[in-house]
């Protein structure tokens, strides 16, 4: 096998439910819902049936665009629709608690919720959301969609099968300029809970639960509102010696001010038996740019380079909803359950504490200090 081998030899796609007719009700009609969730659901044969939004005109436009049968003036009206069995909630984190509280109080037919990340504005609020859903008997999943980026998924498959041996060192290096949302100014935070949360959750997906995190942050020169967590670096420490590091650079140089562009996301995992390296295609959106993976092992001595046509935005967004539907179908907890996501939220809150106090912080400090 040579450097240009194109054979797909890794498991990089989500499992889809056997029954794809389950009715999905959508709360929110912004970019993530209109341009990512709904196109992905339609392409996979899932069944979105209704939408509600803060502005009913927006809900109606998105419903018409994606051929949804119903657009409601308020999401509470949608909760009375018997065709809605699962909710996809895509609202800002400081609104999410109130929406989910309404759902658990008034939902008659809802069996599951897919909530956006971050799950609220803090670990404490996320835990309250998880408790509400558990007590209502509603299965909660959190849309940590980077786990379904195709290169991240492929690397996870290699690690699960032991192809790379024991992980030794891992990095995710992001040099990209996100599109910030207006609600972030209300929060006064920028990168750790919006971008870094993807990378820290990916480390948990790949390697399990870390012992502690050290974070160093500074403001982003381009962002006008007050914040501390603009450009962020973290070191995540595991008990077996593994170290995993992130560089989350949302400045990426004076690109918008006239410099030539150099943006992208690169990741690398080094193990005792092999190396995997990859790129994330998201920064090129709306251009379709598939993520990539290359890997080599002691047994082969060459680089293998499986490739695919799917892209994170929007194709990978079917993964979290499909995982929730499969979990409901199989009577199990989703891998991205609310309980699981509490560990990601604790890791992010630990990063904030670490940056503020200039010390390594264990996520257990966040979990136990409530």
Q: Which two tokens stand for residue 89?
A: 């909630």
Cis peptide, bond prior to residue 229, ω within 30 of zero: no
260 and 129 in a common domain: no
Q: What is the pLDDT of residue 369?
A: 84
230 and 112 in a common domain: no
Q: Are 138 and 113 contacting, i.e. CB atoms less than 8 angstroms apart?
A: yes
- The CATH number for 127's domain is 3.40.50.720
Residue 38 resides in a domain:
yes
Residue 319 resides in a domain:
no
351 and 209 in a common domain: yes
Q: What does the alpha-carbon distance between residue 282 and residue 103 come to, in Å, rounded to a whole number?
A: 32
Residue 363 in this model has a pLDDT that exceeds 90:
yes
- If DSSP codes are grouped into helix, strand and coil, which group holds residue 33? helix
What is the torsional sign of CA 268, 179, 285, 335? positive
267 and 302 in a common domain: yes
Q: What is the pLDDT of residue 40?
A: 98
Task: Determine whether 307 is exposed, middle or buried from the number of CB atoms within 10 Å of its CB (0-12, 13-18, 19+).
Answer: middle
- The CATH number for 165's domain is 3.30.360.10
249 and 214 in a common domain: yes
209 and 113 in a common domain: no
Percent with pLDDT over 70 in the chain: 98
Task: Determine whether 358 is exposed, middle or buried from the number of CB atoms within 10 Å of its CB (0-12, 13-18, 19+).
Answer: exposed
Cα distances from 208 to residues 170, 201, 316, 345, in angstroms, run: 13, 9, 22, 14
Residue 9 in this model has a pLDDT that exceeds 60:
yes
> Domain count of the chain?
2
Cα distances from 182 to residues 190, 256, 308, 324, in angstroms, run: 11, 19, 35, 29
Residues of the domain holding 36:
23-146+326-337
The average pLDDT across 264-272 equals 98
Q: What is the pLDDT of residue 179?
A: 87
68-105 pLDDT, tens per residue? 999 999 999 999 999 999 999 999 999 999 999 999 99
pTM for this entry: 0.96
180-217 pLDDT, tens per residue? 988 999 999 999 999 999 999 999 999 999 999 999 99
Q: Which residue has the higher pLDDT, 107 or 49?
A: 49
Q: What does the alpha-carbon distance between residue 328 and residue 340 come to, in Å, rounded to a whole number?
A: 16
The average pLDDT across 156-176 equals 98
Q: What is the pLDDT of residue 8?
A: 59
């Amino acid at each position: 096998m040579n450097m240009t081998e194109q054979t797909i030899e890794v498991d990089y796609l989500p499992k889809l439910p056997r029954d794809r007719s389950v009715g999905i009700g959508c709360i929110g009609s912004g970019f993530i819902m209109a341009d990512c969730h709904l196109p992905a659901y339609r392409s996979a044969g899932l069944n979105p049936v209704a939408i509600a939004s803060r502005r009913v005109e927006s809900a109606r436009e998105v419903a018409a665009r994606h051929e949804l049968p119903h657009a409601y003036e308020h999401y509470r009206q949608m909760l009375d629709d018997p065709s809605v069995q699962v909710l996809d909630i895509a609202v800002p984190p400081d609104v999410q608690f109130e929406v989910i509280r309404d759902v658990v109080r008034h939902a008659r037919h809802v069996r599951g919720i897919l909530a956006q990340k971050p799950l609220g504005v803090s670990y404490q609020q996320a835990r309250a959301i998880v408790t509400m859903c558990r007590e209502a008997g509603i299965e909660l999943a959190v849309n940590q969609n980077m786990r379904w980026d195709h290169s991240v998924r492929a690397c996870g498959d290699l690690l699960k099968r032991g192809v790379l041996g024991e992980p030794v060192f891992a990095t995710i290096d992001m040099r990209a300029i996100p599109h910030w949302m207006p609600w972030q100014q209300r929060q006064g935070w920028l990168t750790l809970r919006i971008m870094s949360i993807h990378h820290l959750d990916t480390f948990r997906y790949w390697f399990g639960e870390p012992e502690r995190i050290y974070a160093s942050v500074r403001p982003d020169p381009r962002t006008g509102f007050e914040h501390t967590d603009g450009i962020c670096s973290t070191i995540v420490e595991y008990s077996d010696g593994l170290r995993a590091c992130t560089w989350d650079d949302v400045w990426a140089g004076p690109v918008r001010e006239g410099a030539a562009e150099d943006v992208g996301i690169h990741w690398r995992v080094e193990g005792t038996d092999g190396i995997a390296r990859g790129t994330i295609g998201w920064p090129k959106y709306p251009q379709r740019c598939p993520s990539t993976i290359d890997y080599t092992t002691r047994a082969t001595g060459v680089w293998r380079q499986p490739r695919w046509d799917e892209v994170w935005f929007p194709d990978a967004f079917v993964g979290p909803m499909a995982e929730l539907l499969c979990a409901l179908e199989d009577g199990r907890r989703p891998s991205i359950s609310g309980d699981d996501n509490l560990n990601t939220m604790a890791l992010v809150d630990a990063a904030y504490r670490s940056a503020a106090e200039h010390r390594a912080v264990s996520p257990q400090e966040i979990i136990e200090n409530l």
